[in-house]
């Protein structure tokens, strides 16, 4: 039981604030998969939790670099990291909430309850500004209600713990109301996923104020620093690697066997280098570079069950990294000498080697890997744009969840940039075709936006869980036909669903259908599908291409 | 008396040229090491067949100033020194033919009677205005009236090429490298037109030939409205396709007169054997 006197705080230091941020991130990280599961559609885009978590992780790693205990500086570091790592709509909104927050406390050494409420409110203002058409019943509403709660609370009390409690309570109540505001949530029977993510963050904040730092689960993904550490080995020669296998796993401890972290670590260190041992009561996470991963695992297994085993051959990886880097160096040197500055550089997002080739053939200069459930971050987009020597950058997000990140990238980039709000690969293709090199950025924006409306997009994917949606009774594993993002057909075979979906997309003005088949479909299957369609629609030109995209059996463009 | 001179790139069929007494100077076409006189020693279809198997891109050369001078002199000798000559040629942005014609006219003493014009056009987009000017001249119109007609057509007529492939344009180096890459994987049909300077410009890129044709017909409809038009369909080795398009034009427009014309080697080398052209003018 926590005593009243410990719970009262009129002010928090920058150090305490940063503890709150760490705790918020940890709380979110521990529940990320739960947030993913709240996604409204049964299509495999359950990535809100993943996106928010990756965004937050980026914020935290920036925060770790900050040595100052000044509340303003601490917030600024978090905000900067969030901004650079922002992924998906919820991630971008999250970054804006804390950007506003950090601006409000920029000059403050420490934060009072009143300042906290003000900072939360400014965050909300900034987030609403960032979103073109704010939708209520989402993370925005939850953040707004919580901020309003905070503003009301500071009229009654100057206790920051009390205020944070009210923030958390109002956020939870607001979250519970989201199905009333967004009909689709009600239909599926869930609360908003982004809003839920925010509630987990606030939970962490409140717990930190109470002095309870949540533990991060052992499933924690590799931090960016660790990743960079690996990349740093580019400077080595492949044959110089002494311990060839990067080995990571978790021991779920058998409680009957005594475990002492110190001696465990010591014994482990004999197997190789770069050793990391993180343990709590039940779990031990191990990361080691070793020449004999088998022996490492055998040793670990003495203490319990092994899970999450990941072994990578670093010599092989390294050879790839080095050759990639050489390729890059070769390319950029060539680009620099051949073409000084392009009037336009087009950065398009797409998943699948076939799609990437098609986008390039239509004039995209850089392809950023990503799409449904793999949203690239603002930073990914910025990096791609910076690789182009162009006077003006055009972003084609090709997915509704990437539009905001692209807009964010456009603002930070420093080079004039236009975001064409393409929501699908077909829209991206149409926009690329409409692009005219000789025209101004303004004219091109108009041409490309006009072109989007002339193309219809369809997708065939599969259901990740059972759902009832209007007249459709969907079972996990069923194929789903989406028309402009809405599920309109379902069934057990991809081809059947594809045919039914197309029959709904086609009208008397249809002249050309483009089919991009995904990685789950064979060439033979796709050709069979094409033949059947050609028989059914002899008047329409039908083009078949391998897209190589994951998750989507087919992507259709109907014009 | 008015006499009309043009060059072989106007793609005017022989019988039409004879009917309206149009004088045509051939450009030279060099393909696979052999030189031909456009429309005289090589037909468009023979050329396209060679083009498809040619090892290198064909080149062309304009008639020399002397050839022009000789042609003008021949007309003046035959019809009298006071004969007015209107000499209309391939866009100066695409070829030196117009320049050559002007130099040729300057070689003569009676240059006051020779009016050399840069049509800013190519293929039958040039040809139709030549034919219309020749008709006007035969119907007794003055030089000024004929010239006015030509300038009006130059300004007003609608003209488009739908290309089947960018390959030929690319090989000929008539489009920037960046533009050339566009659409090599997908079935992209570039629509080309000519601008006021007589340069070829990419009007739009469209997926599929059907869509491309619909697109240019939409553009033509905006121009023609419900009014009567004269029109032409230009083709290479794809006559059946051109006939189909002609029938569609007859159905959808108030056609006063429509012709089918073969695209000659000079332009054909760039647009390729499967290109289609549409030309429309409200007389």
For chain B, give the secondary structure using H, E and C.
CEEEEEEHHHCCCHHHHHHHCEEEECCEEEECCEEEEECCCECHHHHHHHHHHCCCCCEEECCCHHHHHHHHHHHHHHHCCCCEEEEEECCCCCCCHHHHHHHHHHCCCCHHHEEEEECCCCHHHHHHHHHHHHHHHHCCCCHHHHHHHHHHHHHHCEEEEECCCCHHHHHCCCCCHHHHHCCCCCCEEEEEEECCCCCEEEEEEEECHHHHHHHHHHHHHHHHCCCEEEEEEEECCCHHHHHHHHHHHHHHCEEEEEEEEECCHHHHHHHCCCCEEEEEECC
User: Do residues B170 and B112 both lie within one domain?
Assistant: no
Q: How many CA atoms lie within 13 A of A554 on its CB side?
A: 32
pLDDT class for B174, splitting at 50, 70, 90? low
Q: Do A514 and B186 touch (CB under 8 A)?
A: yes
Exposed/middle/buried for residue A43 (C-beta within 10 Å: 0-12, 13-18, 19+): buried
Boundary residue ending a domain (B132, B152, B172): B152
SS3 content of chain A, % helix, strand, coil (to 5): 50, 20, 30
Q: Do B181 and A433 touch (CB under 8 A)?
A: no
Q: Do A541 and B185 touch (CB under 8 A)?
A: no
Domain residues for the domain of B215 are 158-281
Compute the mean pLDDT over every residue in chain B, rounded to the nearest whole number. Answer: 90
pLDDT of the residue at A26 = 94
User: Is B269 domain-assigned?
Assistant: yes
Please give the structure tokens belonging to residue A476.
Answer: 């996990």
Using the Cβ of A443 and the Cβ atoms of chain B, whether some distance falls under 8 Å is answered with no
User: Do residues B18 and B123 both lie within one domain?
Assistant: yes
pLDDT of the residue at B182 = 61
- Residues from chain A that touch B205, judged by Cβ atoms under 8 A, are 433-434
User: Do residues B167 and B253 both lie within one domain?
Assistant: yes
**Which one of A335, A358, A362 makes the best mutation probe of the B interface by having the most chain B beta carbons within 10 Å?**
A362
Between CA A382 and CA A377 the distance in angstroms is 9
Between CA B97 and CA B118 the distance in angstroms is 9
- DSSP character for A87? B
| Stretch(es) of chain A classified as CATH 3.40.50.510 | 339-452
pLDDT of the residue at A276 = 64
Place of tokens 């804006």: A96
Torsion of CA A266, A271, A277, A283, to 10 degrees: -100
Coil vs helix vs strand at A276: strand
Phi-psi bin for A500: left (phi > 0), alpha (psi -120 to 50), beta?
alpha
Label the pairing between strands A512-517 and A554-558: antiparallel
User: Do residues B82 and B212 both lie within one domain?
Assistant: no
Please give the structure tokens belonging to residue A24.
Answer: 């918020």
Q: Do A358 and B185 touch (CB under 8 A)?
A: yes
- Residues from chain A that touch B188, judged by Cβ atoms under 8 A, are 362, 433
Q: Do A362 and B182 touch (CB under 8 A)?
A: yes
pLDDT digits (tens, 9 = 90+) for B42-70: 999 999 999 888 888 888 888 888 899 99
| Chain B: closest CA distance from residue A83 (Å) | 34
User: Do residues B147 and B167 both lie within one domain?
Assistant: no
User: Do residues B208 and B267 both lie within one domain?
Assistant: yes
With CA atoms as reference, the chain B residue closest to A451 would be: B206
Boundary residue ending a domain (B152, B177, B211): B152
Q: Do B207 and A438 touch (CB under 8 A)?
A: no
User: Do residues B87 and B17 both lie within one domain?
Assistant: yes
With CA atoms as reference, the chain B residue closest to A355 would be: B185
| Chain B: closest CA distance from residue A33 (Å) | 39
Closest CA to A491 of A428, A413, A554, A414: A554
Tally of domains in chain B: 2
| Domain A339-452 listed as CATH 3.40.50.510 | yes
Select the CATH number that applies to the domain covering A456-558 from these four: 3.40.47, 1.10.1200, 3.30.70, 3.30.1180: 3.30.1180
pLDDT of the residue at A430 = 94
Using the Cβ of A541 and the Cβ atoms of chain B, whether some distance falls under 8 Å is answered with yes
Please report, rounded to a whole number, the percentage of residues in chain B having pLDDT higher than 90. 63
| Domain A4-209 listed as CATH 1.25.40.340 | yes
| Chain B: closest CA distance from residue A45 (Å) | 28
* Residue B84 belongs to domain with CATH number: 3.40.50.10170
pLDDT digits (tens, 9 = 90+) for B135-159: 999 999 999 999 999 999 999 999 9
Full strand arrangement of the beta sheet holding B228-235: B200-207, B188-194, B158-162, B276-281, B228-235, B254-262
Topology of domain A224-317, CATH: Alpha-Beta Plaits (3.30.70)
User: Do residues B239 and B213 both lie within one domain?
Assistant: yes
Using CB atoms, which residue from A357, A437, A438 is nearest to B185?
Answer: A357
Decide if A130 contacts A404 (C-beta within 8 A).
yes
Q: Do B183 and A362 touch (CB under 8 A)?
A: yes
Q: Do A543 and B206 touch (CB under 8 A)?
A: no
Between CA A425 and CA A427 the distance in angstroms is 5
Q: Do B207 and A512 touch (CB under 8 A)?
A: yes
pLDDT of the residue at A43 = 63
**Which one of A341, A352, A436, A511 makes the best mutation probe of the B interface by having the most chain B beta carbons within 10 Å?**
A511
With CA atoms as reference, the chain A residue closest to B205 would be: A433
Q: Do B188 and A362 touch (CB under 8 A)?
A: yes
Q: Do A437 and B179 touch (CB under 8 A)?
A: yes
pLDDT of the residue at B94 = 85
**Residue-by-residue pLDDT tens, chain A, 559 positions:** 444 445 788 999 999 999 999 999 999 999 988 888 887 655 656 678 888 998 999 999 999 999 999 999 999 999 988 988 888 778 888 999 999 999 999 999 999 999 999 999 999 998 888 776 788 899 999 999 999 999 999 999 999 999 999 999 999 999 999 999 988 788 777 889 999 999 999 999 999 999 888 766 433 333 333 333 333 233 345 555 677 787 877 788 888 888 887 788 778 888 887 666 666 667 677 777 788 888 899 899 889 888 778 787 777 765 654 554 444 443 433 333 344 578 899 999 999 999 999 999 888 999 999 887 788 999 899 999 998 889 999 999 999 989 999 999 998 888 899 999 999 999 999 999 999 888 899 999 999 999 999 899 999 998 888 887 777 888 888 999 999 988 999 999 999 999 999 999 999 889 899 999 999 899 999 999 999 999 999 989 899 999 999 989 999 999 9
Coil vs helix vs strand at A414: coil
User: Is B20 domain-assigned?
Assistant: yes
Between CA A480 and CA A431 the distance in angstroms is 26
pLDDT class for B21, splitting at 50, 70, 90? very high
With CA atoms as reference, the chain A residue closest to B186 would be: A358
**In whole angstroms, how far apart are CA B142 and each of B3, B86, B139?**
11, 11, 9
User: Do residues B271 and B166 both lie within one domain?
Assistant: yes
With CA atoms as reference, the chain B residue closest to A558 would be: B207
* Residue B273 belongs to domain with CATH number: 3.30.1180.10
Q: Do A437 and B209 touch (CB under 8 A)?
A: no
pLDDT of the residue at B89 = 96
**In whole angstroms, how far apart are CA A128 and each of A141, A144, A182, A402, A420?**
10, 9, 17, 17, 20
């Amino acid at each position: 039981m926590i005593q009243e006197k410990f719970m009262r705080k009129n002010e928090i230091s920058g150090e305490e604030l940063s503890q709150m941020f760490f705790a918020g991130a940890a709380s979110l990280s521990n529940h990320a998969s739960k947030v993913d599961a709240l996604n409204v559609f049964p299509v495999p885009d359950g990535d809100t939790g993943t996106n928010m978590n990756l965004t937050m992780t980026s914020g935290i790693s920036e925060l770790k670099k900050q040595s100052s205990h000044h509340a303003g500086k601490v917030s600024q570091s978090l905000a900067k990291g969030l901004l650079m790592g922002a992924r998906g709509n919820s991630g971008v909104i999250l970054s804006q909430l804390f950007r506003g927050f950090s601006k409000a406390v920029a000059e403050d050494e420490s934060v009072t309850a009143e300042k906290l409420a003000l900072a939360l409110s400014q965050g909300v203002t900034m987030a609403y500004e960032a979103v073109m058409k704010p939708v209520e019943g989402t993370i925005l509403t939850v953040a707004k209600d919580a901020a309003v709660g905070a503003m009301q609370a500071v009229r009654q009390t100057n206790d920051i713990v009390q205020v944070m409690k009210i923030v958390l309570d109002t956020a939870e109540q607001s979250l519970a109301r989201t199905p009333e505001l967004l009909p689709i949530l009600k239909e599926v029977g869930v609360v908003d996923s982004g809003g839920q993510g925010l509630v987990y963050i606030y939970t962490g904040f409140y717990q930190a104020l109470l002095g309870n730092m949540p533990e991060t689960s052992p499933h924690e993904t590799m931090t960016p620093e660790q990743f960079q550490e690996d990349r740093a080995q580019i400077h080595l020669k492949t044959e110089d690697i002494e311990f060839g296998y990067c080995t990571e796993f978790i021991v779920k401890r058998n409680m009957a066997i005594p475990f002492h972290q110190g001696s465990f670590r010591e014994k482990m260190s004999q197997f190789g280098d770069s050793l990391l041992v993180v343990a709590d009561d039940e779990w031990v996470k191990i990361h080691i570079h070793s020449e004999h991963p088998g022996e490492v695992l055998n040793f670990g297994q003495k203490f319990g069950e092994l899970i999450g085993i990941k072994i990578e051959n670093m010599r092989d990886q390294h050879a790839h990294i080095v050759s990639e880097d050489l390729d890059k160096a070769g390319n950029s040197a060539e680009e620099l000498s051949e073409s000084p500055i392009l009037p336009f550089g087009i950065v398009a997002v797409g998943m699948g080697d076939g799609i990437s080739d098609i986008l390039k053939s239509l004039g995209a200069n850089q392809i950023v890997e990503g799409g449904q459930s793999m949203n690239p971050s603002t930073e990914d987009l910025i990096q791609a744009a910076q690789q182009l020597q162009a006077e003006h950058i055009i972003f084609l997000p090709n997915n509704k969840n990437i539009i905001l990140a692209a807009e964010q990238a456009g603002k930070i980039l420093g080079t004039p940039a236009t975001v064409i709000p393409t929501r699908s690969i077909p829209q991206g293709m149409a926009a690329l075709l409409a692009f005219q090199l000789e025209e101004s950025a303004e004219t091109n924006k108009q041409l490309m936006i006009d072109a989007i409306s002339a193309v219809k997009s369809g997708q065939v994917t599969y259901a990740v869980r059972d759902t009832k949606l209007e007249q459709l009774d969907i079972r996990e594993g069923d194929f789903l036909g989406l028309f402009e993002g809405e599920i309109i057909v379902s069934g057990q075979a991809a081809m059947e669903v594809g045919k039914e979906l197309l029959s709904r997309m086609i009208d008397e003005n249809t002249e050309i259908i483009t089919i991009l088949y995904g990685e789950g479909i064979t060439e033979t299957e796709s050709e069979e599908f094409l033949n059947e369609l050609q028989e059914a629609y002899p008047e329409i030109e039908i083009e078949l291409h391998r897209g190589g995209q994951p998750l989507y059996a087919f992507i259709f463009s109907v014009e | 008396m008015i006499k009309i001179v043009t060059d072989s790139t106007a793609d005017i069929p022989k019988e039409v040229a004879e009917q309206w007494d149009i004088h045509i100077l051939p450009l030279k076409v060099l393909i696979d090491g052999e030189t031909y006189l456009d429309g005289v020693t090589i037909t468009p279809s023979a050329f396209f067949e060679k083009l498809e198997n040619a090892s290198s891109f064909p080149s062309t050369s304009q008639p020399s100033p002397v050839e022009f001078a000789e042609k003008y002199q021949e007309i003046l000798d035959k019809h009298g020194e006071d004969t007015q000559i209107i000499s209309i040629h391939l866009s100066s942005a695409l070829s030196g033919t117009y320049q050559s014609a002007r130099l040729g006219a300057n070689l003569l003493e009676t240059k006051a009677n020779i009016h050399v014009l840069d049509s800013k056009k190519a293929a039958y987009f040039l040809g139709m205005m030549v034919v219309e000017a020749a008709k006007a001249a035969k119907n007794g119109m003055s030089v000024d009236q004929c010239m006015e007609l030509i300038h009006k057509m130059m300004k007003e007529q609608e003209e488009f090429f739908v290309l089947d492939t960018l390959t030929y344009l690319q090989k000929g180096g008539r489009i920037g490298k960046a533009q050339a890459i566009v659409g090599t994987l997908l079935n992209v049909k570039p629509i080309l037109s000519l601008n006021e300077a007589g340069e070829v410009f990419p009007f739009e890129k469209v997926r599929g030939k059907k869509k491309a044709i619909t697109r240019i017909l939409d553009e033509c409809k905006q121009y023609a409205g419900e009014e009567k038009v004269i029109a032409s369909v230009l083709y290479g080795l794809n006559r059946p396709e051109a006939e189909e398009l002609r029938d569609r034009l007859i159905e959808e427009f108030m056609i006063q007169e429509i012709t089918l014309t073969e695209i000659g080697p000079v332009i054909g080398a760039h647009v390729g054997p499967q290109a289609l052209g549409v030309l429309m003018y409200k007389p």
